[in-house]
Amino acid sequence: MTYYIGLDVSVENTAICVIDATGHIEKEFSARCHPDNLATVLDPFSKMIGAIGLEAGPMSAFLADGLKQRGLDSVLMETRRDHAALSAVPVKTDRRDARGIAELLRMGWFQPVHLKIPVARDLRLMLSARDTLGRRVRELDNSVRGLVRGFGLRVPTGARGRFCDLVRDPIADNPVLEAAISPLLSARDAMAEEFTKLDKLVRDQSRNDDVCRRLMTIPGVGAVVAMTFRAAIDDPKRFRSSKSVGACFGLTSRRYQSGETDRVTSITKAGDASVRAALYEAAHVMLVRTNRWTPLKAWVMRVSARRCAKRAKIALARKLAVIMHRMWIDGTEFRTA
C-alpha cells in the first residue's frame, strides 16, 4: 500500500491527511509544526509513503530540511496553482486543505517548487535584511521631510549622508519641533549605520564570489543585483532553457485568449519580486546612466525609440535575465561585441 500525505502548515500546528492510492482517507490528524513532531506522527507510515507534500511558504524550507534529515523526503508545491484547486471547495478548513493537498499530490496536479540550498537561503536572508533597513531609513527620511515642511522647512534631496545635519540645524530654535524630530533622527542615524554595515557585508561577499564577479562584468549590473540573481537562481541547471528565466521572474507578457478574444497585456509579475526589481534597476542604469556603448545598449535604445522607455527597460530586464543565466552556465564573462 502506498500513502500520499498532505501537510497544511500554520505557525503552531500542522493539519495532516493520509490517503492511499485510490483516494481513500486513511487518517486525518494534526501535530505541532516542528520536524520532530511531524516525523514522530508519520513514523507508522514511513515504509509505505509515496510522497509528502506541503505548500511553499515561510516555514516550508525549515520543515522540508528537518524531515529530510529524519529520512522523510517531501515535495514543495506551488501555492497559486494549489489555491486555484483548493478554492473550489465551498468550506475551507485546515483539515480540508490538507486533504486537498494530499489529493493533488496523488494525482500529480501540482507544480513542484525548487528547494534552495542553505547557502542560497543565507544570501537571501542578508539581502532581505539589507532591503528592510534601507526601506526603514527612506521611510523615516520621508516622514521627517513631511513633518518639518509644515513649519516652512525644506530638506534638500540627494543629501542622504548629511540628512540629519541638514534637519538638526534649522529645528534647533524650535523646542517643540526639536523634541518631536530628534528621536526620529536618532533612530534614523542608528538604522543608517547598521544599513551601511550590512550593505558593505553584502557587497564584499558579492565581490568575493566567482559567479557574482562574472555577472558584474555586464554594464549596469552591480554587486547587489548580481547577488540577488545568484541567490534566487541557486542552481542554474534547474532551468532547461535560459529563455525561461525571464518568465520565472514574471517579466513576460500576460495573455488571455478565448474564442475571438486574444489580448496581450502587462507582464505577469510572477515569481520573486526582488529579482524583478533588481533586473529592472540594472536595465535602467544601462539605459540611462551607463556611457559604455555595447550592442545590447544599442538594441535597447532602438526599442526605447520605437516603443517607450518603460517597455524598453522591461524588455532589457528580461534579456539580462537570459544573458546572466547563460553566462553562469557557460562560465564566461560579458562580451561587448
pLDDT of amino acid 80? 86
Residue 263's DSSP bridge partners are: 256
For the record, the C-alpha cell of 209 comes out as 564570489
The rounded mean pLDDT for the chain is 93
Map residue 76 onto helix, strand or coil. Answer: strand
| 218 C-beta neighbours (distance < 10 Å), count | 22
In this predicted structure, the answer to whether residue 70 has a pLDDT above a threshold of 70 is: yes
- Does residue 63 contact residue 54 with C-beta atoms inside 8 Å? yes
pLDDT of amino acid 322? 97
What's the pTM? 0.90
Map residue 263 onto helix, strand or coil. Answer: strand
In this predicted structure, the answer to whether residue 103 has a pLDDT above a threshold of 90 is: yes
pLDDT tens digits, 20-69: 999 999 999 999 999 999 999 999 998 999 999 999 999 999 999 999 99
Burial of 150: CB neighbours in 10 Å, binned 0-12, 13-18, 19+: exposed
Pick from 92, 69, 68, 89: which is nearest to 15 by CA? Answer: 92
In this predicted structure, the answer to whether residue 196 has a pLDDT above a threshold of 80 is: yes
Dist. CA 52–CA 34, nearest whole Å: 15
> Please, which pLDDT band fits residue 337 given cuts at 50, 70 and 90?
low
Pick from 35, 59, 168, 70: which is nearest to 115 by CA? Answer: 59
Strands (E) located in the chain: 3-9, 13-20, 25-32, 49-55, 75-77, 253-258, 261-267
In this predicted structure, the answer to whether residue 104 has a pLDDT above a threshold of 70 is: yes
**Which CATH superfamily groups domain 3-107?**
ATPase, nucleotide binding domain (3.30.420.40)
123-131: which pairs have CB atoms within 8 A and are 24 or more residues apart?
A: 123/205, 123/227, 123/230, 123/231, 124/231, 124/232, 126/198, 126/201, 126/202, 126/205, 127/202, 127/224, 127/227, 127/228, 127/231, 127/274, 128/274, 129/198, 130/195, 130/198, 130/199, 130/202, 130/224, 131/274
pLDDT tens digits, 204-221: 999 999 999 999 999 999
- Does residue 224 contact residue 278 with C-beta atoms inside 8 Å? yes
